[in-house]
Chains A and B, each alone.
Chain A
């Protein structure tokens, strides 16, 4: 099964593409560092999205060309960025007022585990080492929608979508939608509700690599993503 899944599953870029299709025109969006940042590359044409970064910028654009970096102008991942017309700077307390105060429309994060009740674990593997939380525990509170982009299973093939998270939590009941390498799943009333699945994959096969029951309310659409 897992070998078959590896050939079927979406690449990270394809997961990011799918997540990007749900960014509304006029949305204020925070993309978590790492994988979620890729979503910006697939922002649908004709939609205006204003990106927020925790370190105090609204309205930033792509990375500058090599050699053109200004190290006073970085994002939360410490990467150099550029500004779009209408950008704004602000200090850290204002930045997190935007986060916790409900002013962001969407935050997209990575995940180690997501539970059917919306709990998210994405900051600590619980194995010791140096703990580092950054802004993750703040970002899961306040944004109107908190989405996750992730592989459907771990590298070992174990489910990442579970009845309850086993790893240290980032936030309780915070995730509203999960974009995985196999499916799009909403969290509603403490249950995973399947919205889209890869057409090549049967419901039973998808359920077998998911650690909690997948509910079906209404139609399940095909998860259709271009080759990228």
Chain B
């Protein structure tokens, strides 16, 4: 089998540097308020952009399964603010829909 060591090391490097540089450089600076506000807004913006549109392709062969799964996740996380229950119930619901559809 071919070795991909060089590719892996280069991919690792270009992935690590963007993770590393802000954390070690910005922590020594004091930032202007607008930049700080921008940075503090990022988590919620990132969550929105990570969910949509990716969730629509979460089960590419049977989109309805993802819809049901995410519906269940929304229901349980709205009800109670934990992570485990929505994640597990959503996987189970998605699995059941796929199973029934294939049935």
B partners with A: no
Interface residues of A (CB under 8 A from B): none
